Structure 1
Amino acid sequence: MQPFKLDKIDRKILDILQADGRITNSQLSKDIGLSPAPTLERVKKLENTGIIKSYHAKLDTEKINLGVSTYVMVSLKAHNRSNIEKFIDAINLVDEIIECHHVTGSSDFILKVITKDIPSYQKLMLERVSEIEVVDSMQSMVILSTFKDSKVMPLPIN
């Protein structure tokens, strides 16, 4: 699939929406220098082509009592389609697993897990994740501090 060609105005719209997804169309149109109708048309085009996938609220994990974030490297017993599908089906049932990436290297997957505290993390790993029949081994890394957590995508110039 060919990448969508973004012009200067599209990139400006995407930069602004990544910083503030709740901006009004009226304010967005002022910020990019177009009238509201063509601005809305461009945003809809970016949504319809799938460049803009969704809009989300970013939550403060401490304020909602989710104080422990970890990355978990997972290796499967065998790296085949059946095991991969079983693993993905199982982890999709675990709300605390907020990211799952199929990777190269010494592990098969990297998970991002978020829980209330260490005891709840330990319980989740012992009772849910390690019980997935195709899991061979896991290695956890607790996030101590986060110095950059940007969700803003750098937009390449075509």
Structure 2
Amino acid sequence: MSTPFKFDQIDRKILDILQANAKITNAQLSKEIGLSPAPTLERVKKLEQAGVIKSYHAVLNPQEIGLGVSTFIQVTLLGHRKEYINSFVGRINEIPEVVECHHVTGQGDFLLKVVAADITSYQNLILDVISEIPEIDNLQSIVILSTFKDSKVMPIP
């Protein structure tokens, strides 16, 4: 495990601002944190190189792009051997509708977040693709009816 990055107040402010608006210009960011543009850019680069900032991307509205069904699937594997886990994860990474895959504790082994156009598309994905993964013993679907919080903002300690 790596040593956590040591933040000062300016780093925290940069991270808060970038999480709220990753499209902000360096000039505007420098104004908001009270530094000139060159040291601001240097700090952002340092945060990127340290792996604190992993990426910048657009967050899409699933309904607006035709993905009307979101679900969680609890997956139990046939066993806990490393080759089962690696094979399962490799296959899951090839399915674009699986947008999250978490190795978890509890009754299941993995928790997947899956998006699909509609219930029929979801059913086809389950029957024709996911349930055909040989390492899977059991699947349990949970359909998301409403989402009241979906924050990508991390609290900075």
For this pair of structures, how many residues does the alignment match?
156
Counterpart residue number, 1:93: 94
Q: Please say if 1:56 is aligned against 2:57.
A: yes
Counterpart residue number, 1:142: 143
After superposing on structure 2, the runs of 4+ consecutive aligned residues of structure 1 that deviate more than 4 Å are: none
Residue 128 of structure 1 aligns to which amino acid in structure 2?
Answer: V
Q: Per-residue displacement from partner, 1:10-40 (whole Å, max 9, x unpaired)?
A: 0000000000000000000000010000000
Residue 29 of structure 1 aligns to which amino acid in structure 2?
Answer: S
Question: How many Å separate the matches in 2 of 1:9 and 1:79?
Answer: 44
SS in structure 1 at match of 2:74 = strand
Residue 33 of structure 1 aligns to which amino acid in structure 2?
Answer: G
For structure 1, the 5+ residue unaligned runs are: none
Counterpart residue number, 2:11: 10
Question: How many Å separate the matches in 2 of 1:80 and 1:23?
Answer: 46
Residue 11 of structure 1 aligns to which amino acid in structure 2?
Answer: R
Question: How many Å separate the matches in 2 of 1:90 and 1:48?
Answer: 30
What is the identity percentage for the equivalent residue pairs of Structure 1 and Structure 2? 63
Question: How many Å separate the matches in 2 of 1:80 and 1:151?
Answer: 33
Counterpart residue number, 1:103: 104
Question: How many Å separate the matches in 2 of 1:60 and 1:84?
Answer: 31
Cα deviation for residue 153 of structure 1 reads 0.1
Counterpart residue number, 2:34: 33
SS in structure 2 at match of 1:122 = helix
Cα deviation for residue 2 of structure 1 reads 1.1
Question: How many Å separate the matches in 1 of 2:3 and 2:63?
Answer: 41
SS in structure 2 at match of 1:155 = coil
Question: How many Å separate the matches in 2 of 1:101 and 1:3?
Answer: 22
Residue 131 of structure 1 aligns to which amino acid in structure 2?
Answer: E
SS in structure 1 at match of 2:75 = strand
Q: Under a length normalisation based on structure 2, what TM-score does the superposition of the two structures give?
A: 0.98
Cα deviation for residue 120 of structure 1 reads 0.2
Cα deviation for residue 79 of structure 1 reads 1.1
Aligned-pair Cα RMSD in Å: 0.4
Question: How many Å separate the matches in 1 of 2:93 and 2:27?
Answer: 39
Counterpart residue number, 2:46: 45
Cα deviation for residue 72 of structure 1 reads 0.2
Question: How many Å separate the matches in 2 of 1:81 and 1:20?
Answer: 40
